[in-house]
Amino acid sequence: MREYPAFYIGGGWAAPAVPRTMDVVNPATEEVCGRVAAGSAADVDRAVAAARAAFPAYSATGVDERLDLLQSILDVYQKRSPDLAAALTEEMGAPAELAGGFQVGLGAGHLGKAIEVLRDFRFEERRGATLIVREPIGVCGLITPWNWPLNQIAVKVFPALATGCAMVLKPSEQSPFTGQIFAEILDAAGVPPGVFNLVQGDGPGVGVPLSAHPGVDMVSFTGSTRAGVEVARNAAPTVKRVTQELGGKGPNIILDDGAFAENVEKGVVSMMGNSGQTCSAPSRMLVPEARMDEAAEVARRAAEATTVGDPNGGFTIGPVVSAAQFAKVQGLIQRGVDEGAVLVAGGTGRPDGLERGYYVRPTVFARVRNDMTVAREEIFGPVLTILGYGDLDEAVEIANDTEYGLAAYVAGEDLDRARAIARRLRSGWVVINDAFDFGCPFGGYKRSGNGREWGEFGFEDYLETKGVLGHAPESG
């Protein structure tokens, strides 16, 4: 049983102002596996005050000093990687191989990229007699989700540190263990007191007072579109900057070529990863109408090959994160059946032999219309919908016919054709043939949010731009 009774505030561990704890449930067993302190507005006040006190000195540090700090964090992070992986598996059900591999690796990768970007980042630029200065924005409120905890902490905390900001982090109450260990890592690495602060808690208790706090200069939020709207409302009276990475319903256009079957299978595998709990997941597969039956059969085999079980047992996927998430996914699967989508694999209920744990059957629907609920709503479970298109113009039209615009995918042998399609997709991230790049900007169009994370683009939202006129005399 893990016990985390304190927050990290002002460079030390602090008990909550009002003694209260939250249970953390292991989704694989449905049993309580730990408790963490639950914060309140008073704890947010203390953390923001510590960050404000630390900001003037830290914002004045040089690039070399921040580079040394980030490298120190990377050294400690790598040593604590096994602890982070174990926490991920316990708190959110990520299979051990995924937790210790890609989940933990994403955090390290973003830190390495932040170090690389900071080395050459231009914080000042002369334009004639005017000096353009990029200055740290101030104190940042960082609110992160449960599905990729380390990734989302990393893409907020590391750019904030690199640009000279102070911050208060609120991890998801459903995956708080990794946030706690992350605070231990930063403490061991020597982050100056007050620059990084951690307050655990739920949305009403911590998220609302943090996003509304007059001492917070910007809020970076990752989560559902519904919650993102509330964060923006809370932040509006103080006119602080708000950046959001929200929901998605990613289209995956499979081109009609010799790699068709292979790309359908890859699309299923990608969708099922992390139990489908990925905002950028390729959840709407678009295939030529003439090859719908073939796509459905390939997808069925791939879904049935996706093993489900104990996260420590070598299975492909584990459970979804909570009872509430399990109920939501079950309801949407049933909605797909009721609305007439063709159930190709999976369906409602747990997989055979799994009586406990929030396990979902890998599910595929074929012959889905884009007006069906399963094609419109973000399910956030291992559920794939397959839609047909007549020609590529129609494929693009269907792909863009969504309120979301976070990630989109194109898979095919003809790179020129894939590139042309990618330009027409209204999405912040378009992936051609499974490419990956830590330096690519990540963020959404439409109701998928605003702002960009990853690489140099992740620095932008943590900086203010100042123009100093007359800084130098005009050259004669």
Nearest 5°: phi and psi at 442?
-125, 125
Give pLDDT tens digits for 140-199: 999 999 999 999 999 999 999 999 999 999 999 999 999 999 999 999 999 999 999 999
**Could you give the 3-state DSSP secondary structure of residue 81?**
helix
407: buried, middle or exposed (CB in 10 Å: 19+, 13-18, 0-12)?
buried
* pLDDT (0 to 100) of residue 475: 57
Q: Domains for the chain: give ranges and CATH numbers.
A: 2-246+448-468 (3.40.605.10), 251-439 (3.40.309.10)
Q: Strand pairing partners for 23?
A: 35
176-189 helix and 63-79 helix, angle to the nearest 10 degrees:
130
Cα torsion through 185, 37, 102, 426, rounded to 10: -120
**Nearest CA-CA partner of 364 in 321, 395, 333:** 333
Q: Which of 91, 140, 173, 279 is labelled catalytic?
A: 279
Distance of alpha carbon 386 from alpha carbon 236, whole angstroms: 39
Q: Is residue 168 within 8 Å of 43, Cβ to Cβ?
A: no
Strands 218-222 and 12-14, sheet pairing: unpaired
104-120 helix and 81-92 helix, angle to the nearest 10 degrees: 130
pLDDT, position 476: 45
Catalytic choice (90, 91, 173, 245): 245
Question: Residue 474: pLDDT above 80?
Answer: no
What does the pLDDT average to over 275-281?
98
Q: Decide if pLDDT at 24 tops 70.
A: yes
For residue range 414-426, what is the model confidence (pLDDT) as tens digits?
Answer: 999 999 999 999 9
pLDDT band at 54 (very low <50, low <70, confident <90, very high): very high
Question: Is 165 annotated in the active site?
Answer: no
Burial (CB count within 10 angstroms: exposed 0-12, middle 13-18, buried 19+), residue 196 = buried
Cα–Cα dist 389/329, whole Å: 26
Tokens of 80: 């604590």
Element (H, E) at 110: helix 104-120
Tens digit of each residue's pLDDT (9 = 90 or more) over 79-127: 999 999 999 999 999 999 999 999 999 999 999 999 999 999 999 999 9
Q: Active-site residue 245, yes or no?
A: yes
Q: What is the pLDDT of residues 404-461, one digit of tens each?
A: 999 999 999 999 999 999 999 999 999 999 999 999 999 999 999 999 999 999 999 9
Reported as a single tens digit per residue, the pLDDT across 284-311 is: 999 999 999 999 999 999 999 999 999 9
